[in-house]
Structure 1
Amino acid sequence: MRKISLVIFLTALALVFGWLVIVQAANNDFTADGDVTVELTGGNVTVLSGSTAESVVITDGVLTVSNPGSTSTPLFKLQPAGGGTVSIKATTSAGADAGCSTLTLTLPTAPDTYTVVPQAGQCSGGGGASGGGGGTTTTVTTPTTATTTTSSTTVTATPGSDIGSLDSGSKNVLTSLDTQFNFTTSLSQDSDNSHSAKVSSLDTVNKKIQIILESTPVTIDLVLGEIKKVDLDGDGVNDLSVKFNNLVGETVDLIITNIVSLEKAGLAVGDLIKTAKDSAVYYIDANGRRNLFVNSVTFWTWYSGSWSDLTYKGAKKTLKVISQADFDGLTLGVHVTVNPGVKLIKFQNSPRVYTVSLGKILQEVVKSSGDDAVAKALYSAKYKDKLITIQNGFESDYTKGEALTTTSAVPTGTEELEEVVD
């Protein structure tokens, strides 16, 4: 099996944290070049350095490993990595038990696709064979590509309709004037309550709305793009954030998010967080979601200084370490992409080089043939000083635009970080 290394960016972050990410190589060969910790539904799992497989993918928090290493190549090994994980269980594509371990799980070498599931409890039943270090060895179940998707869903409100619970993430609600819709959400008083909302006033010219939320009526006024927090139960702790996201004709697009966990954790929009046991760093957005910086090079396109003296556009920032319980209570957002206009980027599986424009748009400046005339014309012969490399699995976070030419204007216009996670 030809090995494609999984690059782990530790560089200046080595003593503080590193981003450990699984990526699927274009030629379907995978090697973990360093221990790789991934966040899955139910907990975290570390893929041990040297593990090989035909492909490794993460989809919706599920890890899938196809054709893991054989006896002639390094085996595919995993360990629990916190976040509630006590043991790891693996199943085959047919759903058969492929092993379970509280220490190190080694996937079977029989060709198959294995699904890996972190568990909060001990292994039950016979489990897999005993592995090195006294742990049991087990096979791991299948995940897909390393793509994190937002928990937001879009619903269209009709008079009297129920848009469901807000506790599992944000909801985009498409509604209109005087259309009352219902929802449920957990409040800061730890009780489930049924509520309703409606747009009671709509100014399409000035793009202003008024919304009434009740049981106990709360009225808020919003202009397009504005976000306000709402205390639904009058206890002084905000329960929801409501954003006037868009206006098309007379259709109002709202984003409604339960922010109880954010408020209880004492977090604010723009905070940087991590847990004590895990290395990944997240940005808290205006909807109370945690958004992952996929690697260190992406992080440093937004921030400057050092970990003891972080700044964002001149403002001091602090990396907050929060409890696992507070972390688990936050809604998962999206991947933070590279700050437009700051760096040129390439992906590990291609010689193409791009500039990042507003809206996460990639515009080619070095061709697949290696022709770098455009890059030299726009950024000088030292353009490689601006170049950073991103793991292949995160290429889907961007959209391909038109290639630049030697006479193109150099894209500029650094965005606010909030705009790239919106």
Structure 2
Amino acid sequence: MKRRSLLKAFALSATVISMGLTFGAQAADTIKVGIMHSLSGTMAISETPLKDVALMTIDEINAKGGVLGKKLEPVVVDPASNWPLFAEKARQLLTQDKVAVVFGCWTSVSRKSVLPVFEELNGLLFYPVQYEGEEMSPNVFYTGAAPNQQAIPAVEYLMSEDGGSAKRFFLLGTDYVYPRTTNKILRAFLHSKGVQDKDIQEVYTPFGYSDYQTIVSNIKKFSAGGKTAVISTINGDSNVPFYKELANQGIKATDIPVIAFSVGEEELRGIDTKPLVGQLAAWNYFESVDNPTNAKFVADYKAYAKAHNLPNANTVVTNDPMEATYVGIHMWAQAVEKAGTTDVDKVRAAMAGQTFKAPDGFTLTMDKTNHHLHKPVMIGEVEENGQFNVVWQTDKPVRAQPWSPYIAGNDKKPDYPVKSTQ
């Protein structure tokens, strides 16, 4: 090798070594956080925005100096709406990527898939979506709603004069644990209010289902027996053909109100909402909530979408699980600062009683014992522009009841987390 080439080779190798050392130092100077949402498959419509808002929140925290003087480094994985793959990705994040925390999952089947992994490895998961309850793991913080913070108040509203005084209930959901358990709770609740089984119908469809013609026709037939409301726990992209079929068959909110627990601004973004005006959703946040904290949250996300060239950046929206993701990441960061470490056991202890001024207009509190957020309950009506007009809400945040009183034996269960895999 000529002398000049040799010198160049030495210079190049020195540069590579230097870069490696610098990268290694940078890696040590960051705190890795996992983001685990389906970016493909049937749940991508709902979960992709949670990944986006998580990255925005991390940028926001990093711009203010990070956590414990270190920048947060996101590690994004795509479990692709594949439930066993969620468990594999969770293990990868905790054992290979060495993340301090994971923000992720939407469906309860994905959460149930990863739960044994988090409990085995003592990882920490922040779960941002309403769910069926009946779980309280020491390795999970639940920033979405339990049934008493969404499903029960929603049905109470439908039975009230303001909600249309419904007497019959068509429970329509995707066929997995969240809809089935929620409807088990709702059936028991309806029984307690004097509603008989002949006035309750339950129907389930697979993930990714699209042919709702017969089901919507059956809803119309069922409604002939008295004032009927539909309670929808359909998840993912199946919501689009369901709402299109309601419009095709001329069902209006004034005839048969539909209240959804998994449809928000994002799911409505791709369809004509004019035929759906007046239909309902129950959540703990809507983009339309009017307060300065929310105005900033919405403006920040819209600016982030444009700056990062997100798909359809000019029409992005915020929704409830996005807000719950945002709150969860900020609360975790506060708990790490309080604990002075990312150690899971110490952060878990520091999470108890954490508060955060949320875009929903309330200061939210992480319960001191049950790992669930105290959350306000809101019911919104669909407007022509795809937003929701809040028609009813609680005057303050409600404490979660993870163990529903409408399921026998729950009164004997502890009000503190216990490993599911013991």
TM-score norm. by structure 2 comes to 0.23
Instruction: Give the number of the structure with larger relative contact order, counting CA–CA contacts within 8 Å between residues 6 or more apart.
Output: 2
Higher relative strand content:
1
TM-score normalised by L of structure 1: 0.23
